[in-house]
Amino acid sequence: MGIRIIGTGRCIPENILTNDDLEKMVDTSDEWIVTRTGIKVRHIADKDQTSSDMAAVAAKNALDNAGITADMIDLIVVSTVTPDYAFPSVSALVQKKIGARKCPCFDIEAACSGFLYALNTAYGMMASPLAYKRVLVIGAEKMTSLVNWEDRSTCVLFGDGSAAVVLENDGNPDTPDFYVAGEVAADGEVSDLLIVPGGGSAMPATVESVTGKFHTIKMGGPKTFQLAVTSMVTACRKVLEKSGVSPEEVVWAIPHQANRRIIDAVANKLGIPEKVYLNVDRYGNTSSASIGICLDELNREGKIKKGDLILAASFGAGLTWAALLIRW
Ligand code: UT7
């Protein structure tokens, strides 16, 4: 069909929170964090820096990288679990901040799997009779706005950031699509494993909900770990099977950067540990920005060339998981 990724961008906040800093806040150690998660530092947004601020910077960088202007965008899809507001959407704020013309825009909430859900959705809308020509897909997260800084089992894991890609349909049937095969999945039966209980219609903000820290992340870590490995491996295998591509043909594997041990387990089960791209040590878990940040780093560092096959996989609250085989 001719739908390609023509540009990537990211926004990484300047402030850095180290493991040494966290040692001063909770009963933890650099040794525990590095051994159990692989994380060394994470970037933290300023108090007044919102998800849409970071999304707009990532979007502008992606547009520059693509060599196009905001007024050429036909649709904006943002993935986030940390919107600036319940409404309006982050995508509407991005439309205004980058000066895109009045194109449709909406947010997707599939937690850490959101970027791959958004790419699947955008591709579907471009390939459908809607026929959008250029689409901006963004993952933007201020995860630290949901962190309980007194809970050592979660506060060491997350960081902030945003990433964007520009998709374009060049209308040339001889141009291979970036989308080779995809898989999106969910299991709501285990939705309480990873949850922010407060702030929604189930528990609107009250003095008790705030003092009880119900507006922060609660996670069953070990069970989530186990399901993350099995679901990402299953999704990757399905995508490889659907596409008829062998693991050997994959040039880069980009797993969601939540925990180095999860990444290693997935890569070893798929037999592709040497193909894995890693930056969890520098950013921690940036939820739906994670895979886009990896893609942008690979792109800007010239580590991917036209035609390379990239296998991305993610997992998050919902529970949701997804895999996507991308042809560069
Ligand atoms: O983004 C998608 C979703 N999220 C994930 O994929 C995260 C999945 N889960 C994980 O990455 C891991 O389960 C964690 C990193 C969260 C935890 O690692 P773990 O190896 O599963 O540790 P654990 O929860 O089994 O805890 C082991 C011990 C416990 O102490 P006891 O009970 O054995 O005395 C914890 O209290 O480690 C303790 N612990 C810590 N110790 C020092 C938990 N957090 C910390 C900490 N520093 N930060």
pLDDT tens for each residue of 231-267 = 999 999 999 999 999 999 999 999 999 999 999 999 9
CA distance 286 to 256: 9
Q: What is the pLDDT of residue 235?
A: 98
For ligand 1, say whether the CB of 325 is within 6 Å of any of its atoms.
Answer: no
The list of the chain residues with pLDDT below 70 reads none
Q: Rounded to two decimals, what is the model's pTM? A: 0.97
Amino acid at 74: D
Give the β-pairing of 309-316 and 320-327.
antiparallel
Nearest Cα residue to atom 3 of ligand 1: 316
Which helix (H) or strand (E) segment is 316 a member of?
Answer: strand 309-316
Q: What is the pLDDT of residue 1?
A: 82
Other Cβ atoms closer than 10 A to 72: 16
Nearest Cα residue to atom 13 of ligand 1: 221
Compute, in angstroms, the gap from residue 142 CA to the centroid of ligand 1.
22
For ligand 1, say whether the CB of 194 is within 6 Å of any of its atoms.
Answer: yes
Q: Which of 19, 61, 285, 299 is catalytic?
A: 285
| 252 closest CA partner among 297, 207, 187, 204 | 297
Compute, in angstroms, the gap from residue 208 CA to the centroid of ligand 1.
27
| 256 is annotated as an active-site residue | yes
CA distance 253 to 266: 10
Q: What is the pLDDT of residue 163?
A: 98
Pair 76, 100: CB distance under 8 Å = yes
By most ligand atoms within 8 Å of CB, the mutation choice from 225, 264, 293, 321 for ligand 1 is 225
How buried is 272 (Cβ within 10 angstroms: 0-12 exposed, 13-18 middle, 19+ buried)? middle
| 84 closest CA partner among 97, 73, 65, 70 | 97
Amino acid at 234: T
CA distance readout (Å), 17 to 26, 39, 75, 160, 307 = 13, 11, 35, 11, 37
